Structure 1
Amino acid sequence: MAHVADPATWLAGYIPDMPTPFDRHGDIDLAAFTRICERQIAAGVTAIIVGETAGETSTLTPSEREALVRTAVRVARGRARVIAGAGSNATDRAITFTQAAEAAGADAAISVVPYYNNPMPAGMVAHFRAIARSTGLPIILHDIPSRSVRSLPDDSVAELASSESFVGLRDSTGAIGRVSRLRSRLPSSFSLLSGDDTTLLAYLAAGGHGCVSTLSNVAPDLCIAIHACFKQGRLQAARDLHQRLTPMAALLEREHPAALKFALSLLGFIDPATRLPIAPLDAPAKTELARVIADLADEYLASADDAWPARPVRDRACSAPRADRL
């Protein structure tokens, strides 16, 4: 599996959880999906996640999942890794999704703790091991107790991480102290990724490697700049940029992914359409999000008209922002 050697080199920084654009008829808009994938890759992300939480995974058919992965792989052309959402609360279904993602060209799969079933830790470990045995893809675990009810225990994470099949954890628990608890128990190559944009800097400071991000979909260059500043030891610059984006991150999280889709529609990239049971934002939420977007747009954000198709989409902020922007 040379094409995914050493995931620690690419499973870090900001990794966008991509939304799935729908047209007004409810079908996937692959042209819009191509645009937003190219935008992220042109900004310099090391990986993108497709068909997961932001992608409204539970409403996607198997053929739609495959189309998303194949499109992302075609757009990436090796410039970034494609991580396919392949989780389910049924182990056999998760295996089917993972094998389909591998056949479609994905570089890795992300698999969520089984939801609704409320499994014991032993059941969670057996679930993930069965998936790993079915595929050659590296597996990223996703722990999100707000949706799955149960959290993946630290002992289970450490047990799974002892296998080279498991290369990272998307930690959506919001527990910053968990990073320091886990770090010493895990292989150095195992990546710990926050699932929360608002606490990213604290997560990095505690020993984490990056963030599976909603915010990066809206402002990829700014997000990459935050991580670059942190890695360079420019902590004040990282804090200042992160603070600028925190209000937007909070609004995006409040009604996810409808808020993300509306934000991207304001920038001209996709239609804000969602699939039920996700409903569009109400008018007050739209007004609040539009105000926050406007506060950043003139200085930082590129619209689709500015950036497509005349040139690859690139936000105006650079990966090492000028001092007068900080």
Structure 2
Amino acid sequence: MGVKLLARAANLEAADLLLVAPQRVVAAGERVAGVRLSVQEVDGYEGRPAQPGRITHLVQPDTGDAPMGQCSTEAGAAALQALATATDLARAGAVDGILFAPLNKHSLRLAGMREEDELRYMQRRFGVEGFTCEFNITGALWTSRVTSHVPVREVADLITGQAVADAVHIIDAALRRAGIARPRIAVSGLNPHAGDGGSIGREEIEVIAPAIERLRKDGLDATGPWSPDTVFIAARRGDFDAVVSMYHDQGQIAMKLMGFERGVTLHGGLPVPVATSASGSAFDIAGRGVAGIEGLQAAFDLCARMARQVNEVSACAT
């Protein structure tokens, strides 16, 4: 998937590309995709391409031969190593954004990751405190969520007024940076029918609705709690710019049905844009060379655009 993206000439023109991976991984990707990349290998990187118009390949140590289409310690170690290098480069100001192909969280944990997902792993490496969140984007519609990669049985206890407010504030700020002056944000309920007046749960009455009321008093255009089974119908119609869901699948299933092939995941709250496609690691078709890359292309376009905007703002501030 990543090799196919890097082989597109237009992407070389859109940004200076730094590839962070072991040689073995790049070679395997080239074999599967049936292409050869034009790369210049380097041992270190300080923010300038080795050759203009070519991909700079920062070669990473080999972590071993990972079996194709399976979870493994070797694959997880290669991914964690690349994320660690990328975050270090971003902290040093050598790169302006990070794009990665879908990762397998079980492989990351086999390799030693203790956080719930790669977002929290990068958050720790960046030294970012406070709320971070995955945004999922399909076309013009954005989502954030109050809880993410946690067991469903733990979700209700994690739905607090502060957590709801954080999820709304972070996506409101991101949409404003993306050019929407007053984002229209729908907040989902937790329970079926948004609790149905308290007969199917009271989180909407006791936690979510009061949080929304405080957000509105602060000037945000947040509404709800909306019934989880209908809010995305209104969002698809264009009634909202974003939906804040309470847990992972509540938003992800709807977003993937609306645009699985072009969905983007953006990690909100980090100092540089970090993006990937929303499609997942697709072990069932690994090694066949048939994976579509339009989601990863959309993620690349968004990451490059946001990185340019950050640089433009920085230049205006100096």
Q: Give the structure-2-normalised TM-score.
A: 0.28
Bigger Rg, structure 1 or 2: 2
Is the strand fraction higher in 1 or 2? 2
Q: Give the structure-1-normalised TM-score.
A: 0.28
